[in-house]
Every structure is written in C-alpha cells, then in structure tokens.
Amino acid sequence: ALLMLLGRTGVLGGLLAPLGITIPFTTGAVVIAQTFTSMPFLVFAVEGALRAADRRTEAAAATLGATPGQVLRLVTIPAVAPGIAAGAVLCFARALGEFGATITFAGSFPGTTRTLPIASYLALEVDPDRAIALALLLLAVSVAALLV
C-alpha cells in the first residue's frame, strides 16, 4: 500500500518525483512504515478512552462558558490522558519490532534504514551470537519502554 501510494510511480509518489522528492528507501520511509503499522494501537486505545469518558464534564464546562478549544485542552485531553499514554506506549512497542513494512518500503541500508529487527534477522544468517545479542537489546528496550 505504501509503495502504491508513495513509490516513484505511485499515486502521490508520481507527483512528487518530478519535484525531486522520493520517499521510499529513505529514513523518512522507516518512520512512515512504522507509523502506518503501529498507529492502530494508539487509535484503539484513545478511542476506548474517549468512549469511556464522562461527557457530562465536557457539557458542564461548555455551559460555564468554556470554548470548544478550552474544553478539549482543559477537560477532554486530561480525562483521556491515561488512554493516550497507554496507546503511545503500545504504538512505540509495536513500531520497535516492525519488520515487514519497513524492509518492504524502506529497505535495509546500513546507517540509513536498517532497524534493529532487520539487523537481527540479517545477522542470524551470518553470526547467530550477534543476532542473539541484538535480539536481547531489542527485548531490553521493549521492556524498558513498557516499564516507563
């Protein structure tokens, strides 16, 4: 989907290519691929928090003269902040282990688009001990993110 949209001959990529803008196989492509695959975790968590939030508080703030922007900033966002935080952690943890979309859309160029899961996979074929070390590093970062 990302290549069909943003590839050199894709819907948007075809419009950007004459301007000298190419997205696939760049560092930006890594970010886009990981966002594309992990954003549903954030959306589901925030959606659940919004559904569980008490709408009466927002209505009370509006009747007391708060503008819609103030209601959002001072009432809604603080009420759903735990859901936003949980979704952000889930999103980050999912993006940290992303493999398929990243290697397809961004490739595996050392120092540019090679991520830890891709490096671990490639090392497994050549140096299994290095692959285990990379996998343990990925596990440690994941656990640290979940603990935070």
pTM reported for the whole predicted model: 0.77
Query: Would you state the pLDDT for residue 113?
Result: 87
Residue 132 contacts residue 79 (beta carbons within 8 Å): no
Summarised one tens digit per residue, pLDDT across range 33-66 is: 999 999 999 999 999 999 999 999 999 999 999 9
Domains of the chain, CATH where assigned: 2-147 (1.10.3720.10)
What's the pLDDT tens digit per position in 90-139? Answer: 898 889 888 889 998 988 888 888 888 999 999 999 999 999 999 999 88
In residues, how long is the chain? 148
Measured distance CA(82)–CA(78) in Å, rounded: 8
Spatial separation of the C-alpha atoms in residues 15 and 100, rounded to whole Å: 26
User: Are the CB atoms for 40 and 88 separated by under 8 Å?
Assistant: no
Question: pLDDT by residue (tens digit) across 73-82?
Answer: 999 999 999 9
Residues 6+ apart with CB under 8 A from 140: none
Query: Which pLDDT does position 148 carry in this prediction?
Result: 78
Q: How far apart are the first and last CA of the chain?
A: 33
